[in-house]
Chain A
Amino acid sequence: DAKTTQPTSMDCAEGRAANLPCNHSTISGNEYVYWYRQIHSQGPQYIIHGLKNNETNEMASLIITEDRKSSTLILPHATLRDTAVYYCIVSPLGSARQLTFGSGTQLTVLP
């Protein structure tokens, strides 16, 4: 599976957009980009996934570069409850053994 690189930590002001980058330069054609987040001492929560097109849901937007070597998760209006560790994961299709969690990015939303 392709590996990902994320910044260790980021801060964001409440109400502003949070842009979390992820580098996955070795991604292969059959691998999706997934984003999960984990609030302290809870189980991770799925946010969004994509293959090559940009995606948006009620939680966030995912922007994937044309060469698919990097992506950005956007939380459009960050709140204090968005403070969490955000994991960017790449994984192939159709495999139950699909998620390899790295250390992620600790996002702190500041009041």
Chain B
Amino acid sequence: DGGITQSPKYLFRKEGQNVTLSCEQNLNHDAMYWYRQDPGQGLRLIYYSQIVNDFQKGDIAEGYSVSREKKESFPLTVTSAQKNPTAFYLCASSNRLAGGPHEQFFGPGTRLTVL
């Protein structure tokens, strides 16, 4: 079945540690995205990538880093510079059709808790 997988589902880390969240898709989509969601809030864009080896900052990129070495993978690293990292992290992908609308497909999310 085609889709997006995120691992792990729950993640705990100690303050001051870096942690990497995995996101893999087998939909052959060009574009991938990372969002953060805090309780009772909407989603906020952290980073996005339209093509391999290229990515752009979203609205809240500080304290995060990404890489896009393969089309199907877009890992997110939450660094110790992120002051309030406890949140629900969602990865998405889409087919980047020039000039047209396109839906985003979301993974199940990773809930990160900093202890």
A binding-site residues for B, Cβ under 8 Å: 32, 34, 41-46, 49, 51, 87, 93-94, 96-104
| CB-CB nearest 5 A-B residue pairs | A43-B106, A101-B42, A101-B43, A46-B103, A96-B31
Q: Majority SS of interface residues in chain A?
A: loop
Q: Is B115 in the interface zone, CB < 8 Å from A?
A: no
Q: Is B48 in the interface zone, CB < 8 Å from A?
A: yes
Which of A44, A46, A93: most chain B CB closer than 10 A? A44
Contact of A43 among B42, B45, B56, B108 (CB under 8 A): B108
**Count of chain B residues with a beta carbon within 8 Å of a chain A beta carbon:** 33
A96 touching B94 in the complex, CB below 8 Å, given contacts A41-B88, A42-B108: yes
A94 touching B90 in the complex, CB below 8 Å, given contacts A43-B107, A43-B108, A101-B42: no
Contact A97 B58 (CB under 8 A): yes
Residues from chain A with Cβ under 8 Å of B41 in the complex: 103
Q: Which residue in chain B gives the minimum CB-CB distance to A103?
A: B42
